[in-house]
Chains A and B, each alone.
Chain A
Amino acid sequence: MSTFLRSRWGVLAGFAAGAVLLLVAAPAALSAFNLALLGKFICFAIVAVGIGLAWGRGGMLTLGQGVFFGLGAYIMAMHLKLADASLFGGSGVPDFMSLYGSGEVPGWWEPFRSPVVTLLAVVLVPGLVALVLGLAVFKRRVKGAYFAILSQALAAAFAVFLIGQQATTGGSNGLSGFRSFFGFDLKDPSNKMMLYSIAAVVLLLALAAARQLMRSRFGELLVAVRDQEERVRFLGYDPATIKTVTYVIAAVMAGIAGALFVPIVGIISPADVGVIPSIAFLIGVAIGGRATLLGPVLGALSVAIAQTSLASTFPSFWVYFQGLLFVLVIGFMPGGLASLPRLVSRLKQRRTEQPGGAAPASAPQVPGSAVPAPATAATTPTTVPEEASR
C-alpha cells in the first residue's frame, strides 16, 4: 500500500481523490454557507503549503506571512472596490473614500483598475517584497529566532500602517462590501461556487508545486541548508539564494491565497493580516506536521474548522486552547500529527521487541527536530499505560 502511494500512479490517484473530495463531494454535502467557510479555510491552507516549504523544509520560521497574505488581499480588494465604483456608482471613486477622504482616488490605487495589472500584482508584489527582504536578511546571515522576530515585527508594522491609512485603505475597518468579481455578481450562488472551485484548484496546484519542489534536487538542497547551513557553503552554494527562493515561493502562495480570500469572505482588514493571524497560520502547520506535504494543509484546515466550531460555543476559551495545542505539539510532537503513524509503529515495534519497555538509547530523530522522537510517544493520544509512567 505504501509503495503504491509513492508510485506515480499512486500520487495521481491521490490528487484525483483530493480533487473529487474538494470539487464534487464537498459542494454536494455542504450548505452554501459552509461551503463558503470551507473556501476561506482553503485560502489558509494555501498559505500553509508555503509555510510548510519555508519552515518545514527550509527551517525559516516565517512568523509574518500575514504581510504577503495582506498584500495579495489588499491588491485584490482595491481592484474590486474600483471596479464596483465604476460599475455601480459611475463616479469611479470607492464609497469609503468619499466618506473619510477627499473623494479622490490616490495615484497608487489607479494601476489596480486594470484586471491584468491586478492579477500580475497579486503574484509579483508579494514575490518582490519577499525577494528584497530575503536577500537583505539571508545575505546578512540573519536566521533562527532573529529572522522570526523580524518577520513578526514586519507583520505588526504592516497592520499598524494599514490602520493609519483611514482614507486610502479603510483603516481598521478594512475594505469590504464587494459586489462584483471581474464582472461576476458576487451575490449569485453559482458565482460563489465558482470562487470556491478556483480556491480548491489553486490549493491542488500549490500542493503539486510543493511536491515537485520537495522531491527535486532543490528540495534535497533545501533540507541540507536547513540542517547544516554552513556545510552547504563549503560545497560552493550560497545558502542565502536557496533560502530566498523558497521564501519568495511561500510569499507568492500567501499572496494568491489573500487575493482569493477577499471575494470569498467579502472583507479584508488589518485584523486579518497582523501578528495574530500570522501566528494562526503557523499553528495549523505545526500541528499538521510542517515537514510533510499534506500535514500543513490538513493542520490548517482542522485548526480553522475547530476554531469556527469551538469559538462560537466558547468564544473566550479558544485562544487558550489554541495556545495549549501549539505548546503541546512543539514540545512533545515536533513532527506534528503527520508523525503520529510513525510514532505509533515505532511504539508497537518497541513493545514487541522489548517487552520490558526499555527504550533503545539511540533512536532516530524526527526530521528537523532537536527533540528525540521516542520521548514524545508518551504524550500522544495513543499512550499505553506503562509508557505514560516514564
Chain B
Amino acid sequence: MKAAWEGIVAIATGFATTLKHLFRKPITEEYPEYKRVLPERARAVIILTRDPDGEERCVACYLCSAACPVSCISMQSVEREDGRRYARWFRINFGRCIYCGLCEEACPTSAIQLTPYFETCERDILKLVYEKEDLLVDHGGKDKEYNFYRYAGVVSKVGDKGAHIKEDKPVNIKSNMP
C-alpha cells in the first residue's frame, strides 16, 4: 500500500513538473533570426592569411594536404626569384572538408586557418570547391604579428643569415678553433 502511494506521488510530481515547463519561456535560439556569436576559435570555413607585410604566408609545403584526413586540400608549389615559395594554385573542396582543424595545426607558417563563419550552403556541390582567390584574405587571422620568414633561418629579402629573431650570428668555423 505504501509503495502504491509512493508511486502515485512520484507520477503526480512528474506531471506537475511538465506542467510547470509548459509556462516557461522556450530556451530555443531561433537560428536565422537570432545568430549566436561563435567563439573566435570555432572551426568552420578555411582561409589563407597574409603576414604583417602583406605577403602570402603559405609556402606550399603540402603539410596541410598531408595532414588532411579526407584529402580535400590540393595545391601546386612554385618558387619565386628571391627564393620564396608559394602556391601557384590552391584548392579546398568544402564538399569533403570535415572541419577537423588538422591542417591548421600542421601549418608551420600560420597561413591556413579556420574561421567561425559557416553559412556556405550551395545547391550545386561543385560551388563548394574553393580556389585560391576565394580562400585568400587580406589580414593575419588569429595570429596577426607572426611572420614565418623572420624566424626561419632561410635567406630571403626579410633577412640574411643571423638576422632572424632568436638566431645567433653565423659562426666563422675557421676562427673558432680553441
- Specify whether A and B are partners: no
